[in-house]
Structure 1
């Protein structure tokens, strides 16, 4: 049969007709109701918080620290959370008051001390234990002294200097961690790394500045065991993933649960037309702010979503008034909200709450000083009235749409505001704020709080990712296998957020980040805010029991619900057939396990 010559044109015409129908419906205020998909959240009686789950862990790791050393305390503050999130059971020997226990009771030892003098003969004890098959990690840049000299050669060091070297960037081996094969700049670098020359037998995974620079992470076999050394001297939240990757080198098979999720938030979206200086919009496009967002910015954002498979989570703000006395002014410009909100839903995304206005939920005891240009609420009743109005408005605009995510304005939320949300608004199941501390910021970890609300921090923001954010992004891919980003539509109106560069350059910067993200981690799932929270619930509860033989790796997963994700590093052997899940190669000897059963067996080749 002869092909119809205009078939392709008819398909294109049909697509445009469909788009026109969708746009007409939205412009006309016709409501979009998403498919009645199953909630991503676990039911209340299924939830086990991470704090509860880790109480069951067998103590397999001994941490040796000295609370008299300030840097030892700083390191432990980070490692305590690293081990909790990796589900590693730990005992802590603080040499200020404790003596070393019997090392044979442990699978691994982690030394969090730069000055080894308090260890004394314990250094020899650790060396002998490793020689007999143990695995020890020295996670801090060591001072050059008599006690360090006792163990240097065993760590793979053949010579070292007394001075530390300046480190302003780290280059990671491409086979070592996700996002490796390039250098990442360190904000406020300093003389943090010990000058060392290593034996040819040492396996180096990271260097200062570039491949072949000062070794920063390496392993060295000693007898039947292994030492791993971290020599970069940074002890902060933004580098946790590098320590997690280092720790996974210690045993034959390194295992730890991960979240596996990527979320992109649009704060203040939908909202009234943003206020701000439209100078650069007029310079580049010769149009109004309103027309720019409708005809240029939003179509570009939809194109990015289509290109990378993103699911936006837009969090709504009803107005930009600054009244905080409890007097409510209802929004009447419904069309803009329905148009953009319905487009987010059609795109496969999700809507959540940001604020009745842009005033954080804080009372008079909060002092913003010169940091933020906000007012505090008159009383709790005024805060409650504002949140009630926001929810009424959301229900009116998007009937039948479940909204469960709350993003605090400017990531600021007081203790009273947090308590009010939990007690008065049970539909709020997620609070998405900040991963890193900042002035007035509500800072979070990836976890379920005691009241059942999921704490879901955002890691990076905007279109211009500075050195610190890039470092944090690669670290979190290796710590939790997660990406969480937010931006505001009015970023394009603020010079501090890059407005002078213009939208084309900002869009290109954003696209460069997405290219890097999905090239580095193609296995990463694109999720909405509530879907990411469901993943956090499952991840937080999960613990595991590991049994490794010459022929297989057997995992028993505790608090398993329907699926789970874990990182596995095969330091010994190559994975083969998998029962109870699927294994995807990530890089080098690192694999991502998608478990679909609470018992998983991986044969070894």
Structure 2
């Protein structure tokens, strides 16, 4: 029983998440055209030694099974958050007392927890399931833990931590792209989190979309019952603010499309070593590309003019100022000619 849930809904916490919260999240996804990636924790225990890992309760597995299958039905994917919520770090790596976490004894114990998660996931969702993405608990991760992850999860290729963070306190804050120490991994950090709406946060969020062309947002189910993360607001209030947040992104970036993390990775790989050269002659821009593989999207700013047509693919104006226009191009050929309109045709 949780007081926040009890006061608003007069039901148990478990019933609230099954009957209210998850259904509301699916309704928002349908209304706002979202796809969720769900990151699984098998049990909230402090077992950081192999011999302390006990069998997980049947009621926990039932809930995970149902929620996971509903996630799949709505086009989502399952990733890894952890066997438990203890970050993959050892004694001395972080201030465990301040964060109320427990250090892992060894890589072997970490591996045992990872194997427990994999065993339960395959038991619930079948042996063919692939786990591509890892979100570190509390965004804390060190190199030894990362190497152990790769060794025990062969399909893993993405770490989704945070873009902003204090590495001195153990935060795994990363740039976007291929990992420097383990090249098979890619870093796709999240730019924002939470259910509440804050105007200042929208500025950072829009900057990230403008620079990197994608947006990831992370929420914890228990944000609703956390005093600091809920901003002392009810779920009814938070639900409205979350919808407002998504709606504002949608209104300013209507061309964004819903995508799961593993597909985002493939799109990035498609363009990670792409080289683009361009030359403007009269009213045409000639573009040539090296390492072109498959069609991709890019944005282009045209100053004091507009695009009349392109030799292949499609284009769409997505932003307009007094002296320039920004276009979204779907590039379908490594050689592209952009024809500009005459200046006197401009409005």
TM-score (norm 2): 0.91
2:332 paired with 1:596: yes
Provide the C-alpha distance between the structure 1 equivalents of 2:9 and 2:190, rounded to a whole number of angstroms. Answer: 31
Provide the C-alpha distance between the structure 2 equivalents of 1:525 and 1:330, rounded to a whole number of angstroms. Answer: 40
Query: Greater relative contact order (Cα 8 A, min sep 6): structure 1 or 2?
Result: 1
Provide the C-alpha distance between the structure 1 equivalents of 2:106 and 2:96, rounded to a whole number of angstroms. Answer: 19
Provide the C-alpha distance between the structure 2 equivalents of 1:280 and 1:435, rounded to a whole number of angstroms. Answer: 31
1:355 corresponds, among 68, 82, 86, to: 82
**Counterpart position of 1:405:** 133
Q: CA deviation at 1:563?
A: 2.0
Provide the C-alpha distance between the structure 2 equivalents of 1:372 and 1:563, rounded to a whole number of angstroms. Answer: 46
Provide the C-alpha distance between the structure 2 equivalents of 1:371 and 1:468, rounded to a whole number of angstroms. Answer: 29
Q: Is the 8 A contact 1:326 1:382 kept in 2?
A: yes
Number of equivalenced pairs: 329
Provide the C-alpha distance between the structure 2 equivalents of 1:366 and 1:311, rounded to a whole number of angstroms. Answer: 35
SS at match of 1:600: strand
**Counterpart position of 1:164:** none
SS at match of 2:162: coil
**Counterparts of residues 86-97 of structure 1 (less than 5 Å):** none
CA deviations on 1:525-563 (whole Å, 9 max, x unpaired) are 211111122222234222211121113112222222212
Structure with a larger share of its residues in strand: 1
**Counterpart position of 2:279:** 547
Range with greater deviation from structure 2 (483-492 or 530-539): 530-539
2:72 paired with 1:345: yes
**Counterpart position of 1:496:** 228
**Counterpart position of 1:447:** 177
SS at match of 1:294: helix
Range with greater deviation from structure 2 (447-456 or 510-519): 447-456
**Counterpart position of 1:563:** 295
**Counterpart position of 2:270:** 538
Alpha-carbon distance change, 462 to 592 in structure 1, aligned in 2, over 3 angstroms: same
Q: Is the 8 A contact 2:285 2:339 kept in 1?
A: yes
Q: CA deviation at 1:389?
A: 1.3
2:116 corresponds, among 360, 368, 389, to: 389
2:194 paired with 1:462: yes
TM-score (norm 1): 0.53
**Counterparts of residues 295-306 of structure 1 (less than 5 Å):** 295-306=19-30
Cα root mean square deviation, aligned: 1.6
CA deviations on 1:99-148 (whole Å, 9 max, x unpaired) are xxxxxxxxxxxxxxxxxxxxxxxxxxxxxxxxxxxxxxxxxxxxxxxxxx
2:232 paired with 1:506: no
**Counterpart position of 1:473:** 205
Alpha-carbon distance change, 349 to 530 in structure 1, aligned in 2, over 3 angstroms: same
Provide the C-alpha distance between the structure 2 equivalents of 1:337 and 1:561, rounded to a whole number of angstroms. Answer: 39
Provide the C-alpha distance between the structure 1 equivalents of 2:302 and 2:247, rounded to a whole number of angstroms. Answer: 28
Q: Is the 8 A contact 1:448 1:536 kept in 2?
A: no
Which 5+ residue runs of structure 1 have no aligned equivalent? 1-276
Which 5+ residue runs of structure 2 have no aligned equivalent? 342-347
Provide the C-alpha distance between the structure 2 equivalents of 1:390 and 1:487, rounded to a whole number of angstroms. Answer: 21
Q: Is the 8 A contact 1:576 1:603 kept in 2?
A: yes
SS at match of 1:401: coil
